[in-house]
Amino acid sequence: MSHPHPELGPPPALPEGGLRIVALGGLGEIGRNMAVFEYEGRLLIVDCGVLFPEPDQPGVDLILPDFEYIRHRLDDVEAVVLTHAHEDHIGAVPYLLRERRDIPLIGSRLTLALIEAKLTEHRIQPTKVEVVEGERQVFGPFDCEFLAVNHSIPDALAVAIRTPAGIVLHTGDFRMDQLPSDGRLTDLGGFARLGTEGVDLLMSDSTNAEVPGFVTSEREIAPVIDEVIRTSEQRVIVASFASHVHRIQQVMDAAARHGRKVALVGRSMVRNMGVARDLGYLKVPPGLIVDARDIEEWPPEDVVLVCTGSQGEPMAALSRMANRDHPIRIAEGDTVLLASSLVPGNETAVNKVINGLTRWGARVVHKGNAKVHVSGHAAAGELLYVLNLTRPSNFMPVHGEWRHLRAHAKLAALTGVPDDHIVIAEDGVVVDLVDGRAKIVGAVHAGYVYVDGSSVGEITDTSLKDRRILGDEGFISVVVVVDSSTGKLTAGPEIHARGSGIDPQQFEGFIPQIQRALEEKAADGVVDMQEIRRVVRRTVGRWVSDTYRRRPMIIPVVLEV
C-alpha cells in the first residue's frame, strides 16, 4: 500500500497523459468532502462540502476546504460535480462561487434544487447542469457518466470519469438497500459494466468500512416510527437532518395514519422540505402540515413536530427546547425521537440535549434504545461486493477517518487488489494515475478554513488556541507604566483577572515581585517595550503556575511616559 509521508514535498509537473487527483477534504475526517481532478491543465471538482466544528473549536460555525491550491486556477475549472445534497458535500459551494460565480454545478434535480435554495440566501444565481442516472456528459477533457446510488437522501449519484488516462469511478456516499423506500436501487449493473470495461481507479465511500455485513433496509425503520407516534400520549417531536427526505416521509406517513398534524420547525427544515415537496420527492397529504406558529392551538395528542438538532447543535431548535430557549416548551409526557445517526464527536453535545429534554419530563427515543435509524453508508459486505463487481486496477478509499480508510484498504486487498496498487492518502496528498498505476507523488497545503460569523479564514489555529485557554483558564491582565527613556516603573502594576479562579486579594502580596523584576531590568538598561512585556508575562505566569497550578492567558499592558 502507498502511504502518505509527513515530509512529502510539492508534486512534480503532471506527466503528459496522466490524471492528477488531490483531495482537499474528506480523507482522514468525516465531512468537508472535495476532490480535484486534473487532466491536460483542466480541472474537475467532485463535491465541495463543509465539516462541522468540534468542542475544541469554540466559536467556529463551519470548516471549509482550503481553496488555495486552485485559487489561481479557477478559470481552469470545468465544473463542480455534486454527488448529493448533504452539507458535507455541498455546504462549501457558496464560498467557492464567491471566488468565481459562473462555475457550472452538475447534479441531479433534487441536489441542484437544494443547493440553489441555499445559494439564494448568499445572493448567488448558479449556473446549473441537471443530469440523471445513465446519462453521459462531457466537461472539457472529462467524460462523465452518472450512476444511481441509494443513500439517505434521494437522487444521489456516483460518477465515472473517463479521460485518456483511464476510468475513475467515484461512488460518492452510497449503500445497497435492496428495498429502498423510494424504489431507487444502487446501479450494481452499471458498476459491473464498468468493471468489465476496466476501472483504473476506484474511489469508494469508507464511512462504514469497519461495520460487518450489510446495512439494514430503510423500510425497517417505518414500523418503529409508527409505534412511537401511535403510543405517545402527547406531542411527538422528531429531530432529523434537514435533508433526510426519506425519514421525514416516514414520519409524515405515520402522523397521517394516526390523525396527527405535522409542523416543520427550523429554517433549513422548512426550506428543504418545501423544495422536496415542490419537486415531488416528498408526498404530503392535503391538510397534514400546519404552521409551527399555530401549534399551540392544537391538542398535544394531535401534533407531531419535525425539527433540526439531532446532533446537539447549540443553535438548532431541539437544543434550544432542551435549554428552555425556544417558543416551543417541552412538557411532561412529550416524546422526543432522535431519528438520525450520531456523527462522531457529537456524543457529548447530544447526551447533554437528551438530559435537558428528560429533565422537563420528555421521553427520549434514540438509536441507543430503539431501532430509529439505519446508516446511509455501505457496510463492509457491501463494499466487498462493489470491489468484486468493479475489479479495479487501483484503489483509493475516501470519505472517512483514518481507521475507516485503513479498514477499507484491507477489504480491497482481500479481493485481490495488489498492495502496491492501494493508495491511502490524506487531505492535500497528490495522487497521479499514469500508465495504469496510481501513486502518491507529493503534497499541497490543504488546511482548515474557519467560518466564524461573517468572517471566512480570519480565524486561525492560534486564535482557537487562545479561545481554548480563555475558556479553560481565564485571563489575567497586568497594566504597568514605565519611563520610556529609563525603563523604570512609574506606576502600577494594576492587575485584573477574569475566569481564573484566583482571589484578587492574593495579587496584593505578589505585586512587589513584579516591581522587583522590572527594577532589575531597568538597572540593566532595558528600555525595549517588548522585553518589558515578556518580563511581566513570565513573572506573573511563573507565580500563577507555582501557586495555583494553572495556566491562564497573561496579557501585559505596558504604557510609556
pLDDT of residue 505: 72
pLDDT of residue 312: 60
Going by the annotation, the residues of the binding site are 59, 61, 84, 86, 88-89, 151, 173, 242-244, 373-377, 399, 452
pLDDT of residue 155: 94
161-203 pLDDT, tens digit per residue, is: 999 999 999 999 999 999 888 889 999 999 999 999 999 999 9
Distance CA 68, CA 70 (A): 5
Could you give the domains of the chain?
A: 19-214+376-451 (3.60.15.10), 218-365 (3.40.50.10710), 461-560 (3.10.20.580)
Could you write out the DSSP letters of every residue in 274-322? HHHHHTTSS---TT-B--GGGGGGS-GGGEEEEES-TT--TTSHHHHHH
| Cβ–Cβ under 8 Å, residues 372 and 225 | yes
pLDDT beneath 50, residues of the chain: none
Going by the annotation, the residues of the binding site for Zn(2+) are 84, 86, 88-89, 151, 173, 399
Q: How far is CA 61 from CA 53, 121, 200, 422, in A?
A: 7, 16, 38, 35
pLDDT of residue 515: 79
Q: Which of 170, 246, 366, 377 is catalytic?
A: 377
Is residue 186 packed enough to be buried (19+ CB in 10 Å), middle (13-18) or exposed (0-12)?
buried
DSSP H helix total and E strand total for the chain: 15, 25
- Catalytic annotation present for 122: no
Distance CA 173, CA 82 (A): 11
Going by the annotation, the residues of the binding site for substrate are 242-244, 373-377
pLDDT of residue 475: 76
The CA angle 281-30-24, to the nearest 5 degrees, is 100
* Lookup result for grid cell 516591581: 515
- Catalytic annotation present for 377: yes
pLDDT of residue 326: 84
Q: Which of 177, 187, 200, 205 is catalytic?
A: 205
